[in-house]
Amino acid sequence: MDANKKLGLIGKNISYSFSKIFFEEKFHKLKLNHLSYSIFDLQDIDEVENVLKDTELLGFNVTIPYKEKIIDFLDELSDEAREIGAVNCVLIENGKKTGYNTDAFGFEKTLKIHRKPHQNAALILGNGGAAKAIKYVLNKNGISTKTVSRNSELNFENLDKETVQNHHIIVQCTPLGTFPNTEDCLDFPFEGLSKDHLVIDLIYNPNYTKFIINSAEKGAKTVNGYYMLEQQAEKAWKIWNFKKK
């Protein structure tokens, strides 16, 4: 990598960031003193234009709520990012901005560790950028999916216990319950869960959301978003470095 290069994270209300800690530890361990990682807390996606003017910027991560909106500001998408319709990692090379989706990689690794053979139908809670990556991975692995969101046909008001019983994978993709609002929880028929269920909440802070705690009480296997986050970050690191290896 060239001297004095910057990486960073684009999002909204992101004062707490796993990515900054993760990458700064990596720079320190690898003695990459010429690299820095910045937080770009944008109130509106149009503010990204100022960020992109920085010629030292090598790339950046993208988080809520800009994983879909960032696409308009990019020159190219990886095949996976195009199919998913969301980007969480951008590489800038010779002025060209290419969008990737490493959420899919991180989630697939998580799924392969925890999924049992009988778990062939999933409910995806939420329909934002992260949910799109989750749907892509589940479909790729032959798992049928239904999306539950405020605006979808199946929503949080008509989702019933029987539907939950018939879908043995539940993926919570909304930010509800994230620190500091740790008491918040989706309205969900937890009584439909059992030991046959795998519940994945993409939130990693706190470790145990109200959603995870309520699911575990019904006997479901529960997983938070930390491993997925770690794996998507490692994949982003490879993307930013791949031309140099």
Assigned token pair, 175: 């930010």
Cis peptide upstream of residue 65 (ω within 30 degrees of 0) = yes
Known catalytic residues are: 67
Question: Which residue matches tokens 């999002």?
Answer: 11
104 close to 67: Cβ distance less than 8 angstroms:
no
| Cα gap 101→84, rounded to integer Å | 8
Residue ranges of E strands in the chain: 5-11, 35-41, 59-62, 76-77, 89-93, 96-100, 121-125, 144-148, 169-172, 198-201, 221-223
DSSP run (H or E) holding 168: none
CA distance 146 to 135: 9
The enclosing H or E element of 128 equals: none
